[in-house]
Amino acid sequence: MTIVLATRRILTPVLAGVLLLVFWQLVVDLRDIPGYLLPSPEAIGTQVRQNFSDILTASRASGTNALVGLLAGIALAVAAAVVAVWVPPVERLLTPLASAVSAMPIVALAPVLSIMFSATSDLPRRIVVAIVAFFPVFVTTVRGLTRIEQVHAELMRSYAVGGWTLTRLVRLPGAVPYLFTGIRVAASLAVISAVVAEYFGGLQNGLGSRITSAAANTAYARAWAYVVAAIGLGLVFYLAALAAERLASRGRVPIS
């Protein structure tokens, strides 16, 4: 029963995607749309096959930037959230700032950071990713840390403990599902910002730089091939984060 439902849930969007590709191919073929306007899925597929090893290399470069930045952003966000909940003035300072910054196009920082650091370094991109990933994780973790059940708070009060013991035993484990919700949002943003940050120059090793250079050489089908890879990379991050979130909110902390 559940297997049937799961298959249906997966099968329907997959089917829709296939239909869209068929429609795309037909439109390009029948209406003779030139390749520089819209390459056909077939042409893009050929490019993916021809550049497969380079696609993997570029995906690895962008993926590493996204992963390193994401992990750094998560670590900083959790630490900042713990401090913010502990010291209310910090929370009052950081939360509005987090909302404001999350509305800003942080990737726009990439060229500035490239100048600050060496242009042959991956560091500026990783910093951009870390900043982008920081805010959703910070906001959800603060929410999780502050949403403590009254009965748990009173229980710990009756034990005459607070501070770090309360944070470690009640607040942090209680915030775990919230943290992973933040990570799911941050994971998609991490890939987007890692790829887009490459549009602004610097090292020419990732998917973003491959897309811009292919487009600059009017190799549109090849540019699309790298876009497909970027979509794939984003999906990998999203699905990994989703699986982690499911795991965290179901089993939570392993049973001793």
User: Residues interacting with other proteins, by CB under 8 A?
Assistant: 149, 151-152, 154-161, 165, 169-170, 173-174, 176, 252-253, 255-256
Taking the complex as a whole, the smallest distance from the CB of residue 138 to other proteins amounts, in Å, to 22
Question: Which phi and psi angles does 204 have, rounded to 5°?
Answer: -105, 50
Taking the complex as a whole, the smallest distance from the CB of residue 194 to other proteins amounts, in Å, to 33
Taking the complex as a whole, the smallest distance from the CB of residue 150 to other proteins amounts, in Å, to 9
Tokens of 144: 């999780």
3-class DSSP state of 148: coil
Taking the complex as a whole, the smallest distance from the CB of residue 166 to other proteins amounts, in Å, to 9
CA count, 13 A, side-chain hemisphere, 148: 21
How far does CA 128 lie from the centroid of its chain?
12
Nearer CB in complex with other proteins: 178/200: 178
Nearer CB in complex with other proteins: 7/165: 165
Question: Which phi and psi angles does 24 have, rounded to 5°?
Answer: -60, -50
What does 178-219 look like in DSSP terms, one character per residue?
Answer: HHHHHHHHHHHHHHHHHHHHGGGSS-S-SHHHHHHHHHHTT-
Nearer CB in complex with other proteins: 130/183: 183
Taking the complex as a whole, the smallest distance from the CB of residue 251 to other proteins amounts, in Å, to 9
Q: What angle do CA 241, 87, 145 make, to 5 degrees?
A: 35
Nearer CB in complex with other proteins: 67/85: 85
Nearer CB in complex with other proteins: 90/248: 248
